[in-house]
Structure 1
Amino acid sequence: MPKGSPQASVNRIHGLGAECIVTDVNYDDTVRLASKTADKNDWMLVQDTAWDGYEQIPTWISQGYMTMADEAIEQLTTITEKRPTHVMLQAGVGAMAGGVLGYLSDKLGADTFKAVISEPEAANCIYRSGTSDNGSMQCVGGNLNSIMAGLACGEPNPVTWPILRNCSRAFVSVADNISATGMRILGNPLKGDTAVTSGESGAINLGLLYFLTSKPEGKTAADALGLNKDSVVLLFNTEGDTNPQRYRKLVWEGGLEITA
């Protein structure tokens, strides 16, 4: 696991009887170390990002994420006759986002909704790629420090990047406090809504949606995306409280609030 992985996650892996090694490097370098170790020991590597010569398993994993999209659309039809006007997806390497967006674009039509791809500003390789002059993949190095550890990846997945590049309307680099706000909203919703215990990586888009639609600084972007009271926005929470101690710090004690 990458540098900075919470001890709670390490303990859960140990609890399953598996060995867990926390490296002193970031996610992408940890993947390379895992690949090298697998080759050395003749092990099978199951990894959701891809590189030349290692595409099949990451493709299967991204295709597996399509189940989320299929179930979401099925569930949505029981709630409203309206289709999503906006789909907001979080990205690390882009495996989940690419799989879900590919399915929805095929099922609903890529021109029927606006896709927004978000990620931590400390690991914003997808944002940099999407806003580059020629849409080529851009990488981010360093520690990639973010409370959104599940999204702290610095190198896009080449298998899914073309989907994100071609089917997304906007790419957003998001500060940690936006995600923390999303966690608090999910855990303390309006009366009648179901409370959701969400981890940092899962709450990023609700926090972003709140920021865009309620803060003056987000108005220009919200207007450009056509976000308004009639919008039907589809979000996916992909994480529970994987770090319970930090969850309480952020949700109960109000850490990392939006001050503007």
Structure 2
Amino acid sequence: GIAWAANKLGQKCVVRMPKGSTQTRLENIAKENATVTIEDLNYDDCVRMAAREAENTEHGIMVQDTAWEGYEEIPTWIMQGYGTLALEADQQLAKDGCRPTHIFIQAGVGSLAGAVIGYFANRFKENPPIMVVVEAMAADCLYRSAVKGDGSRIDVTGDMLTIMAGLACGEANTVSWDILRNHADAFVSCPDWVSANGTRIYGAPLRGDDRVFSGESGSVTMGLVAALMTKPEYRELREALKLDDSSEVLLVSSEGDTDPDRYREIVWEGLCGTDKEPFEGI
């Protein structure tokens, strides 16, 4: 997105991508005339590298949706931009005479989740939907922070390898975490098979439903809801979330098939389809 905007505005753009990023995604960014590399670093270390480069470059500006002390203005703007998505979803639902009983929203650093949950917590102050934050198990910093339960943040380190590349972030946005710890009802940590199943369900829906080309980071919430509603081993969590056949659930598919090769591996070849490592929720 940054490469696309910079290209439109005639500005130089440098993008650093973390270990595990695919060549296809790199090539798509390069097509926008950006300088782009895949570094031998995890996401959070890549962010720090880019921040140092911006600081040491004349007219360099770091554009990133995770916040830390001293770097909060731009991430807050980005969260406000994400809020447009929540506003438009709310308006479309209202036009159809609906309001969500549940919202499942995926999280990396938590900026999208914070924006969506913050919007609906404010929109329905007296009776908010049940709101669930969903993460990749390899990078579940928000879930681990919720488990700790004292309001502090727990970081995840290491390679954080997961098919959910857009969620492979180990350090929470400080601005967003303040929203999530106060307004999210539950946090769920999901292994890759949950996302893979979500991608397949979106791609081959029930008759009459529209097909959605959803990438791995966008489909984990669909996979989670499907597992909660169909697998008896998750009955306790389903009941705790008050999910039943009358629920109106809002999901956000935050990416398309941005890596077509990986998408085909999931949909055609059943990538991650047999891994039944259980997910965890609090």
TM-score scaled to structure 2, two decimals? 0.90
Q: Which residue of 2 aligns with 1:251?
A: 267
Aligned equivalents of 2:232 and 2:151: distance in 1? 29
Change (3 A) 1:253 1:207: same
- Please list, as runs of the form range in 1=range in 2, the aligned pairs for 1:42-53 lying within 5 A after superposition: 42=58, 43-53=60-70
Aligned equivalents of 1:95 and 1:259: distance in 2? 29
Deviations 1:83-118 (A, max 9, x none): 211100100000110011111111122742110000
Q: Residue 16 of structure 1: CA displacement?
A: 1.2
Residue 140 (str. 1) matches residue 156 (str. 2): yes
Q: Which residue of 2 aligns with 1:78?
A: 95
Q: Which residue of 1 aligns with 2:14?
A: none
* Corresponding letter in the other structure for 1:47: Q
Deviations 1:206-251 (A, max 9, x none): 0000000100121110001100001111100001111111100101
Aligned equivalents of 2:193 and 2:220: distance in 1? 9
Deviations 1:56-100 (A, max 9, x none): 000000011000001001111233x33211100100000110011
* Corresponding letter in the other structure for 1:55: E
Q: Which residue of 2 aligns with 1:40?
A: 56
SS in structure 1 of the partner of residue 114 of structure 2: helix
Q: Residue 194 of structure 1: CA displacement?
A: 0.3
Aligned equivalents of 1:3 and 1:183: distance in 2? 23
Q: Which residue of 2 aligns with 1:166?
A: 182
Aligned equivalents of 1:92 and 1:112: distance in 2? 23
Aligned equivalents of 2:42 and 2:66: distance in 1? 14
SS in structure 1 of the partner of residue 209 of structure 2: coil
Q: Residue 252 of structure 1: CA displacement?
A: 1.3
Q: Which runs of 5+ in 1 are unaligned?
A: none
Aligned equivalents of 1:209 and 1:219: distance in 2? 12
Residue 239 (str. 1) matches residue 239 (str. 2): no
- Please list, as runs of the form range in 1=range in 2, the aligned pairs for 1:1-260 lying within 5 A after superposition: 1-42=17-58, 43-79=60-96, 81-109=97-125, 111-258=127-274
Q: Residue 259 of structure 1: CA displacement?
A: 6.2
Change (3 A) 1:98 1:20: same
SS in structure 2 of the partner of residue 131 of structure 1: helix
Identity %: 49
Contact 2:193 2:275 in 1 (8 A): no
Structure 1 runs of 4+ with >6 Å offset: none
SS in structure 2 of the partner of residue 20 of structure 1: strand
Contact 2:103 2:250 in 1 (8 A): yes
Aligned equivalents of 2:275 and 2:41: distance in 1? 32
Q: Residue 135 of structure 1: CA displacement?
A: 2.2
SS in structure 2 of the partner of residue 21 of structure 1: strand
Q: Which runs of 5+ in 2 are unaligned?
A: 1-16, 277-282
Change (3 A) 1:153 1:222: same
Change (3 A) 1:110 1:141: farther
Aligned equivalents of 2:98 and 2:57: distance in 1? 52
